Amino acid sequence: MLSELRLTRRVNFYETDLAGIVHFSWYFRYMEEAEHAFWRAAGLSVAPADAEVGWPRVAASCEYRRPLRFEDEFDVVLRVAAITDKTIRFDCLLTRGVDEIATGSMTVACVSHRPGEPMRARTIPADISARFEVAPGVPSVS
């Protein structure tokens, strides 16, 4: 079972604004990129072609501590913070060396994904939930 993943990345020029600082929206992309790598590391895909479930974001947040700039190398650590029967919450930490750059959180909901039908929340399939576990040291949510 997987509970945490570290992704190392470098800032591309197109991710920066005129001040040479990474635009705030890219932090959400970094978190999502780490999430997709997390699913692959668990032997899954977040969006396989024949999927009967989908994973829309129902909550996302980010708190910025320090800026990232063009060519900065940084790490994105994604951890499973909570799992319910229908949702997974990921917490994320972005660091450059020992400096904390940002913290974030995303909650994804499992929904039915069938052509011609509206999305509806559903229980996470057992073959998926069996691949993930809450990271050690994450306080339980009551």
Alpha carbon distance 38, 5 (integer Å): 6
Phi, psi of 14 (to 5 degrees): -70, -10
Which of these is catalytic: 17, 75, 91, 99?
Answer: 17
Vertex 104 angle, CA 98 and 106, to 5°: 145
Whether 17 is catalytic is yes
User: Which sign does the torsion angle of CA 53, 56, 39, 82 carry?
Assistant: negative
Report how far residue 101's alpha carbon sits from residue 132's, in angstroms, rounded to the nearest whole number: 26
Task: Classify strands 73-83 and 87-96 as parallel, antiparallel or unpaired.
Answer: antiparallel
Catalytic center residues: 17
